[in-house]
Each structure stands twice: as C-alpha cells, then as structure tokens.
C-alpha cells in the first residue's frame, strides 16, 4: 500500500511522471521513520525536521501536519507492519524541465512502509568503516533527495568490503554516509555539533538525551580523524541502524576492536525507549 498524490494505491497502480522534479533535479525532501510494535517512533521529531527541510528548500507541504499524521497512521495500519520503516518524500512537483521553480507546480508526496528487521548482528558485533573526504554541499542539515555523494560513499564502503564511510572535512569528522557518528574517549562522549555540516539525526538526539540521563559528559565539538583513531569506543546512530558499534576504521581497530562498555550501556537504554 502506497500513498501517492492524494490517495492510497497499490504499488503497481502508481504512474510517476518523468517530469517530476525529483527526477530532474533531486528537487525534494524526505524522511525515514522507524516503526516499533506497530507504532511510529519519535514521529513528532521527524515531522519537525520535515517541516524545517521543506521551509529551507522553499517547498510548500501539500498537506497540513494533521493530514500528514493521518496519512502515516493509515499507512502503518493498512501495511500491518510491526517492525519496519516508513519512507516519505515530497518533491516540488511536475513541470517541464527548467531550473527555476514552476509557476503552478503542486508538490507531490509519496509514502510507504517496508518491513525492516532490526540489524541485530551489526548491533551486537559492530561494523567496520573507511574514511573519505566529505564532498557534500553546505546544507547537510536538510534531508534532501540529493544523495549522490552519499550513494558514492556507500558504494566505496561496499567496494572496500566494509559497511560505512566516515566523512571528514579537512580532517574534521562530520558524520557517515547514512548515519551520525559518536566516539568515546576517557569516558567522554564526543560528536560533531548539530550545525549545517551534518544531519540533525533523531537517533543522535535520543542518544544525547540518554547520555545526559546517564550523567555522561558530552562534548558536541569538532574532533579529528586522528582523534577517532585514538578513541576508546565509537558508534554510529540512525533510524535503521539504531546504535551500531564501529569497531574498525581504515584497517585500524578502535579501542580493543570490540563494542565498548559505554556503547553497550547506551544500546540497552535506547532499547528501553521503544520496548513495550
């Protein structure tokens, strides 16, 4: 079951216009929501971010927030998904190809749910990464469809036989190709500040809340790749990856090369935020 252009349809019933600006320019925004036990996790935080992305790229949301909440509820119910994700994207609409905004374009929303199990193996054992230059634009805080640099990074990870890419600008670690990054050094949790250079992850926000509750010292300050090499622990955060330990970077083990104690503590606390 899909929501596409004002109605609920079967996947095969969709006719997407080649004139959709999402195709021509990646001219759109999106959100990925997590579903646990048939309920949408941190829905309001995702909606706040959606509204902000829309405002900053000057796309008028095609529906009110109340209507969007109803679309989400209906999709989750009709899809009968207990554990999965809900993908939602809004493009600037359909119009003959021209860079400037169309005069009478109506934004187009697409949304659907998918069964996505929790990545328990990666969460238990950790993942490996390589580092790469962060070649993205300077508004990484907006969740837009322009993901070509992220796509290239993720493929570089696959080509290297690892699971993620740690991005850095001139040696300052920003985030990963599809997740935020945190590291622990001397019991202090470090992560890049939530500015224009990273996506303000919802999972990142929840983890920082949990870290404060655990009375962990947190530093939202830039740190270098060299610092990450010397870290005691590191992990990535994201809607689908939750808190996944990063145990190796650029062929070097992080800490003792296994998921760290603070990482595990945060994983346990995180799980409690959606457990029944």
Where in the sequence numbering do the catalytic residues fall? 143
Residue recorded with tokens 């509820």: 73
Q: How far is CA 106 from CA 16, 44, 61, 90, in A?
A: 14, 24, 9, 10
Among 22, 28, 84, 238, binds ligand PLP (CB under 6 A): 238
Shortest distance (Å) from residue 216 CB to ligand PLP: 19
When asked if residue 145 is in the footprint of ligand PLP (CB under 6 A), the reply is no
When asked if residue 237 is in the footprint of ligand PLP (CB under 6 A), the reply is yes
The answer to whether 240 touches 116, Cβ cutoff 8 Å, is yes
Shortest distance (Å) from residue 77 CB to ligand PLP: 23
Part of the chain binding ligand PLP (CB under 6 A), chosen from 58-66, 96-104, 194-202, 257-265: 194-202
Among 163, 204, 262, 267, binds ligand PLP (CB under 6 A): 204
The answer to whether 24 touches 88, Cβ cutoff 8 Å, is no
When asked if residue 202 is in the footprint of ligand PLP (CB under 6 A), the reply is yes
Q: How far is CA 262 from CA 43, 69, 118, 120, 126, in A?
A: 27, 35, 20, 18, 14
Q: Of the candidates 191, 131, 116, which has an alpha carbon nearest to the alpha carbon of residue 162?
A: 131
Which CB atom, from 95 or from 145, has the smaller least distance to ligand PLP? 145
Part of the chain binding ligand PLP (CB under 6 A), chosen from 2-10, 103-111, 173-181, 253-261: 173-181
When asked if residue 199 is in the footprint of ligand PLP (CB under 6 A), the reply is yes
Part of the chain binding ligand PLP (CB under 6 A), chosen from 76-84, 224-232, 233-241, 251-259: 233-241
The answer to whether 82 touches 38, Cβ cutoff 8 Å, is yes
Q: How far is CA 13 from CA 4, 18, 85, 115, 266, in A?
A: 10, 16, 21, 20, 43
When asked if residue 245 is in the footprint of ligand PLP (CB under 6 A), the reply is no
When asked if residue 201 is in the footprint of ligand PLP (CB under 6 A), the reply is yes
Compute the residue count for the chain: 276
The answer to whether 55 touches 65, Cβ cutoff 8 Å, is no
Beta bridge partners of 36: 39
- CB under 8 Å to 53, separation ≥6 — which residues? 29, 142, 143, 144
Part of the chain binding ligand PLP (CB under 6 A), chosen from 93-101, 103-111, 232-240, 249-257: 232-240
The answer to whether 172 touches 181, Cβ cutoff 8 Å, is no
Q: Report the site for ligand PLP in 28-67 (rule: CB under 6 A).
A: 32
When asked if residue 203 is in the footprint of ligand PLP (CB under 6 A), the reply is yes
Which CB atom, from 8 or from 36, has the smaller least distance to ligand PLP? 36
When asked if residue 180 is in the footprint of ligand PLP (CB under 6 A), the reply is yes
Site residues (CB under 6 A) for ligand PLP? 32, 150, 175, 178-180, 199, 201-204, 237-239
């Amino acid at each position: 079951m899909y929501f596409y252009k004002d109605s609920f349809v079967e996947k095969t019933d969709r006719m997407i216009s080649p004139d959709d600006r999402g195709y021509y320019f990646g001219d759109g925004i999106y959100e990925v929501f997590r579903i646990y036990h048939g309920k949408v996790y941190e829905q309001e935080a995702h909606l706040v971010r959606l509204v902000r992305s829309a405002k900053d790229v000057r796309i008028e949301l095609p529906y009110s927030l109340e209507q969007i909440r109803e679309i989400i509820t209906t999709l989750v119910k009709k899809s009968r998904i207990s554990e999965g994700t809900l993908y939602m994207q809004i493009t600037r609409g359909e119009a003959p190809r021209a860079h400037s905004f169309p005069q009478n374009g109506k934004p187009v929303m697409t949304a659907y749910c998918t069964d996505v199990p929790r990545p328990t193996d990666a969460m238990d054992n950790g993942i490996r990464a390589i580092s790469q230059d962060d070649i993205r634009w300077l508004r990484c805080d907006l969740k837009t469809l322009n993901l070509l640099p992220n796509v290239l990074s993720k493929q570089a990870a696959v080509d290297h036989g690892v699971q993620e890419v740690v991005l850095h600008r001139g040696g300052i670690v920003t985030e990963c190709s599809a997740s935020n990054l945190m590291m622990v050094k001397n019991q202090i949790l470090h992560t890049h500040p939530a500015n224009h250079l990273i996506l303000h992850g919802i999972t990142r926000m929840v983890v920082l809340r949990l870290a404060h509750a655990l009375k962990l010292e947190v530093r939202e300050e830039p740190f270098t790749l060299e610092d990450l090499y010397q870290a005691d622990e590191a992990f990535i955060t994201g809607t689908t990856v939750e808190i996944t330990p990063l145990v190796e970077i650029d062929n070097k083990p992080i800490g003792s090369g296994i998921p760290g104690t603070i990482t595990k503590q945060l994983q346990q606390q995180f799980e409690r935020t959606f457990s029944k």
